[in-house]
Chains A and B, each alone.
Chain A
Amino acid sequence: MKKDESALISHQRFSRRLFVKGLALGGVLSTMPRLLYANTNDTRLGSAPVLSGQEINLVIAETPVNFTGVTRMATTVNGSIPAPTLRLREGDEVTIRVTNRLSVSTSIHWHGIILPYQMDGVPGISFRGIEPGETFEYRFTLKQSGTYWYHSHSGFQEMTGMYGALIVEPREGESIQADQDHVIQLSDWTDEDPMSAFSKLKVQSDAYNFNQPVVGEFLQDASTLGTSGALEKRKMWNQMRMNPTDLADLSATTFTYLMNGMTPAGNWNGLFNKGERVRLRFINGSSNSFYDVRIPGLSLTVVQADGQNVKPVRVDEFRFGPGETYDVLVDPQDDAYTIFAQSMDRSGYASGTLSVRPGLVAPVPELDPVEWLAMTDMMGAMDHSAMKGMDHSAMKPAIDHSAMKGMDHSTMKGMNDSAMKPAMDHSAMKGMDHSAMKGMDHSAMKGMDHSAMGHNMETNPLETPSQTVRHASTEYGPSVDMRVDTPRTNLDDPGIGLRNNGRRVLTLADLRSVTGVLDDDRVPTREIELHLTGNMERYSWSIDGLEFGQSTPVSLHHGERVRVILQNDTMMTHPMHLHGMWSDLESAEGDLLVRRHTISVQPAQRVSFLTTPHDFGRWAWHCHLLFHMDAGMFREVVVS
């Protein structure tokens, strides 16, 4: 086994120290879960073997794993979970041969890599898939650098083990200086057949939610808020038949959360020497789990998002969804730290240890309490008609003040802006409940510059994203359980469960691409508005109320600069991944912020990004929560 691993690890461009450490880690890992079943065909777990060079061979097969005491078959690449880490070099043309030893068709998608569409690996869109026994040759030139990943785009294979890191080293040398470099891939494992889990959600969509409101909570609320207050708090939820703790479709009830293929008990261990600066490449390769990541005792300097360098920003914690990556730098001083990644629904966590030598541990934090989704997650920013009829004393606990703060950022600040005029909804303002918005800056309102409004009427309205909500005609049917008329556009909300938690949490508003990344400053020539939709009760997910099978492609013109507005008309956060081109996130004021390949859109949020399709072909565009994608929150894009 060890021999195989060392053969897989490339000697080129790899420090001796890292090489040795890789072996040592392999040795530690091979004695752990392996004791349960000493079988040479077992899946290799832990830090993945590294493959590099311009020619790479990958073999897809079923191999056994045992995360829970039960042996199950996983779908693996070269027999490891995570799949081998590919270390490639910017500018190189690479040939990757993928051989299918499964009994079903497979594929590999290179997540975030800009390449010809035939190489993108989505069966039925980019190519026909890789049939059993077949070898498919991927060949493309790397036009970018950074941390990316790859995974199967066939069925639920990604969920059963097919995910690995893809690191592209900058051709001109690394601008981010670090002494140690660890890939940390988070994922989720279920012993269930994924399709059977999906079928269960079709029957009972809250089957995996064990944080549902109970009678005792109501009685508690009744004693603090009064009976009417407790009823008010639940009124909207009950009327709309929605669950305030609907934060994840699948929970720790079925999932074992993994860090580099290791359970919390297996405790993945990354090493450093005192005084070293450590780069951690976090990849959320999970099927259905948002993670909230922190390392108690260390602040994290985020230097890269989705493979693209960002201006360093120091935080204590970040949330990321399936598909997203963040590179962070840490300067550890102690001997051991826990890398703690709790699932967004607070049902469980993945964890590992960063330490100066193997075997050390640091305390593992408790899971944070489960928080109810706030009114802001349901109604967006300015739904005052909703507030009018409500008991404000009861509203207080439900209202999220950080979201309120965000409100005056986006809307109030923007009022000095010309383009706010069409968006400013005076009828909505009338009903505004000022008592509930202590944090609102009234002076800013007073200072509203009316002359500027008139003056700027001549500017191109496409300089800023439209704030006029336009629901699709197909959003009025049984496939949609919520339409948001007053979405929030602020990006400085870390999201449910992270607001005011006493830690500095990364938000989209904190991210700024470094100079040179955002290379297209043209004003878009048109806007595309799409709404993320679903019906939780029926467990259906869609875009504009149309599941994939009912949809038509979004047609983009080669080389055009186009704005995409995504409005989330659901109560879940959706990591939206657009293949084949970048998503340049902008603020509500139309300022370009950061280049992403996956943008998580929060409930009742409206975000916009600009894109320039440089590559012809058909591309996939979907929510990267695997079950949402498979349920139909998926669009095809044609670039012609």
Chain B
Amino acid sequence: MKPVTFVKRLKPLTVIAALVMSTSPLLAYAAGTDANTAKAQGGEAPADARDPHAYSDGYTLEKGPYALGGPRQLKLADEHKFWAILGDRVEYDADSETGVFELQGWYGTTFDRLTIKLEGDIADGRLEESQTDILWSHASSTYFDTQFGIRLDQYDEGTDRQWLAAGLQGLAPYWFELDMTAYLGESGRTAFSLGAEYELLFTQQLVLQPSAELNFYGQDDIENGLGSGLTDAALGVRLRYEITRQFAPYIGVEWTSKVGQTADIARAANESVRDTRYVVGVKFWF
């Protein structure tokens, strides 16, 4: 292996490592912000922690005196698989006549799930671009899941990309919903995305949801209008009314801005760099 190739190969890994390192304070934060909560949640079991099987005398649910025999009959919900489809954003901007959707679906147990995240932009009745994450999601701490899988980007005008994905999704202290994923693509491409949401209840049904999203790319991707570094940022506020907990129409505003080289690329192509979108939409899950 030529040293150059090695370095080339190493680079994305380094970037990923850097990204993981850079999020580790966040992880620590997620584990608890002070000694108290850290002591009460998560953490490592001390060496002298009690053995939860110490009272079993070696018996199991299937074996030992008075067991019914045969395969175990009693299985509770902890061994069942559940599923859900969550429409976090399905919205329309009347000015630009464009639509945006952000859907998530999962299937599995409490601690291990197949998770699919789907987001895309629709203009002129066509899917302009979309991003699909297909992930195995594993509960790694009290409130966070680690996620591994692939991401598929589809561009109507541009070049489709495929990525390997590694991320973290969950609930940070002070009830911030976080979703961060690092990506590794072909020919050493890297990317990182970070999303955060918060919910403010005015009443039991009227909820204000601020949100923020940042995207980073490791290299230029001119075909898809992306420069290296921070590419774009979005800040949104949505006010929804939960007719039921599962169905809530909303109005909102979203500010998006392309940043750095990505903004330069957009300017060169005579495309807008900043955008303010007033949207109506619906949030739902079932």
Contacts and interface: CB of A to CB of B under 8 A. Distances in A.
Interface in B11-36: 32-36
A594 interface: no
B52 A544 contact: yes
A474 B73 CA distance: 24
Nearest to A118: B66
A207 B285 CA distance: 11
Contacts of B68: 124-125, 127-128, 618
Contact of B52 (A122, A123, A537, A546): A546
B188 interface: no
A224 interface: no
A104 to B, nearest CB: 14
B78 A124 contact: no
Given A203-B285, A204-B245, A555 B55 contact: yes
A213 B75 CA distance: 36
B82 A553 contact: no
Contacts of B65: 616, 618, 638, 640
Contacts of A211: 204
Contact of B174 (A238, A479, A540, A548): A238
A549 B78 contact: yes
A216 B206 CA distance: 12
A435 interface: no
Secondary structure of the B contact surface, majority rule: loop
Interface in B36-77: 36-37, 39-45, 49-53, 55-57, 59-61, 64-68, 72-77
Contact of B55 (A208, A528, A548): A528
B117 to A, nearest CB: 15
A552 B56 contact: yes
B45 A473 contact: yes
A632 interface: yes
Contacts of A632: 76-78
Interface in A610-640: 616-618, 629-632, 634, 636, 638, 640
A542 B76 CA distance: 11
B67 A239 contact: no
A200 B285 CA distance: 9
Interface residues of A, number: 79
Contact of B111 (A128, A203, A478, A634): A478
Given A215-B200, A484-B40, A616 B143 contact: no
B260 interface: no
Most buried by B among A123, A472, A485: A472
A239 B32 contact: yes
A470 B50 contact: yes
Nearest to A208: B245
Interface in A439-480: 470-476, 478-480
Contacts of A542: 78
A288 to B, nearest CB: 14
A553 B50 contact: no
Contact of A473 (B51, B84, B175): B51
A497 to B, nearest CB: 19
A99 interface: no
Most buried by A among B40, B68, B86, B202: B40
Contacts of A538: 110-111, 139
Most buried by B among A478, A479, A618: A478
A35 interface: no
Looking at chain B, what size class is its interface with the partner chain? 35 or more
A128 B52 CA distance: 27
B41 A481 contact: yes
B201 interface: yes
B96 interface: no
A386 interface: yes
B22 to A, nearest CB: 22
Contacts of B32: 239-240
A24 interface: no
Nearest to A215: B202
Given A537-B143, A632-B77, A215 B35 contact: no
B141 interface: yes
B203 interface: yes
A268 to B, nearest CB: 30
Interface in A24-63: none
A124 B64 contact: no
Contacts of B59: 552-553, 555, 638
B204 A198 contact: no
Contact of B34 (A389, A471, A555, A618): A389
Contacts of A433: none
Given A555-B57, A618-B67, A210 B204 contact: yes
A483 B40 contact: yes
B52 A631 contact: no
Contacts of A117: 66
B79 interface: yes
Nearest to B29: A239
B86 to A, nearest CB: 7
B50 A471 contact: yes
Given A128-B68, A211-B204, A535-B142, A485 B56 contact: no
Contact of A236 (B36, B44, B50, B76): B36
B37 A240 contact: yes
A123 B66 contact: no
Nearest to A480: B142
Interface string A362-385: 000000000000000001000101
A545 interface: yes
Interface string B136-152: 00011111000000000
A547 B139 contact: no
Contact of B39 (A215, A485, A544): A485
Contact of A202 (B51, B82, B200): B82
B233 to A, nearest CB: 26
Given A123-B73, A124-B72, A125-B74, A552 B174 contact: no
Contacts of A475: 45, 49
Contact of B175 (A125, A241, A546): A241
Interface string A558-582: 0000000000000000000000000
Nearest to A386: B36
A478 B170 CA distance: 12
A66 interface: no
B173 interface: yes
Given A204-B285, A553-B61, A638-B59, A630 B39 contact: no
Contacts of A638: 57, 59, 64-66
A208 to B, nearest CB: 8
Contacts of B182: none
A528 B50 CA distance: 11
Given A211-B204, A638-B59, 9 more contacts: A128-B68, A212-B201, A241-B143, A472-B49, A472-B50, A481-B41, A548-B78, A618-B68, A632-B77
16 contacts: A124-B72, A200-B246, A202-B82, A207-B246, A214-B202, A240-B40, A240-B41, A241-B143, A241-B173, A472-B52, A473-B51, A474-B45, A476-B44, A535-B142, A617-B66, A640-B64
